[in-house]
């Protein structure tokens, strides 16, 4: 696959993640709420469906690339890949338990006709007691494990784009959380590291 296609894929991944953060921004959601009125309860569901469609479209395009493996797999890489995939999947599943899946997907908003559920308390239990963003950490480990199982340029580009954009995504997400929870979140930031326990 040409270098141009690889750069395009990397750029599209960054644009995808940026769009994800933009559509989750309070100002953007407030604008859509004003424009859509009662139909705003569909926003979260549309947001998730659009995100899934665009990601599958991009991954489907990259799956058609005919590229050799970046390195030869061996017992060590296979063992590490299994460790990363299992640990990453465990972190993702454990993180999702902290969410109301109905609300997360947007289905609850449709049933209750309420697109703005009230979250008045900060959840610092479970995996959130060890790192502030266990879902992101799990995603990184899962992608790293997939890269070791299928060491192709497409998987490497996906992992790099996530690592490049993640600090920006975390910055904007935590800006919202500081605004929402105030001192409670500031104290939480002082106690708990961002992604790597005890380090960062």
The predicted structure's pLDDT at residue 121:
76
Kindly report the pTM of this predicted structure: 0.89
Q: Identify which of 139, 64, 49, 61 has the alpha carbon closest to the alpha carbon of residue 94.
A: 139
SS3 string, the chain, reads: CCHHHHHHHHHHHHHHHHHHHHHHCHHHHHHHHHHHHHHHHHHHHHHHHHHHHHHHHHHHHHHCCCCCCCCCCCHHHHHHHHHHHHHHHHHHHHHHCCCCHHHHHCHHHHHHCCCCCCCCCCCCCHHHHCECCHHHHHHHHHHHHHHHHCCCHHHHHHHHHHHHHHHHHHHHHHHHHHHHHCHHHHHHHHHCECCCCCCC
The yes-or-no verdict on residue 115 having pLDDT over 60 is: no
Q: For the segment 168-191, what is each residue's pLDDT rounded down to a tens digit?
A: 999 999 999 999 899 999 999 999
Sign of CA dihedral 142, 95, 195, 30: positive
Backbone angles phi, psi at 99, to 5 degrees: -110, 155
102: phi then psi, degrees, rounded to nearest 5: -65, -45
47 to each of 29, 116, 154, 172, how far by Cα in Å? 11, 14, 25, 18
User: Which residues make Cβ contacts (< 8 Å) with residue 117, sequence separation at least 6?
Assistant: 100, 103, 108, 109
Output the pLDDT for position 138.
96
Q: 41: buried, middle or exposed (CB in 10 Å: 19+, 13-18, 0-12)?
A: buried
Q: What is the pLDDT of residues 7-43, one digit of tens each?
A: 999 999 999 999 999 999 989 999 999 999 888 889 9
**63 in Cβ contact with 123 (< 8 Å):** no
**Mean pLDDT for the chain?**
90
Q: Residue 100 — φ and ψ, nearest 5°? A: -85, 110
């Amino acid at each position: 696959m040409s270098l141009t296609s690889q750069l395009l894929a990397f750029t599209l991944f960054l644009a995808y993640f940026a769009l994800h953060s933009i559509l989750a921004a309070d100002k953007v959601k407030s604008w859509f709420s004003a424009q859509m009125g009662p139909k705003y309860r569909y926003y979260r569901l549309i947001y998730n469906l659009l995100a899934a469609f665009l990601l599958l479209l991009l991954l489907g395009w990259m799956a058609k690339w005919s590229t050799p493996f970046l390195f030869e797999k061996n017992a060590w890489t296979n063992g590490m890949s299994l460790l990363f995939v299992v640990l990453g999947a465990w972190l993702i599943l454990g993180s999702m338990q902290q969410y109301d899946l109905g609300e997360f997907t947007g289905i609850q908003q449709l049933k209750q006709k309420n697109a703005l559920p009230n979250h008045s308390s900060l959840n610092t239990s479970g995996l959130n007691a060890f790192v502030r963003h266990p879902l992101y950490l799990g995603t990184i480990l899962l992608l790293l494990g997939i890269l070791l199982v299928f060491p192709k340029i497409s998987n490497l580009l996906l992992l790099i784009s996530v690592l490049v954009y993640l600090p920006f995504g975390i910055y904007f997400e935590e800006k919202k959380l500081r605004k929402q929870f105030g001192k409670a979140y500031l104290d939480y930031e002082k106690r708990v590291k961002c992604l790597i326990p005890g380090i960062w």
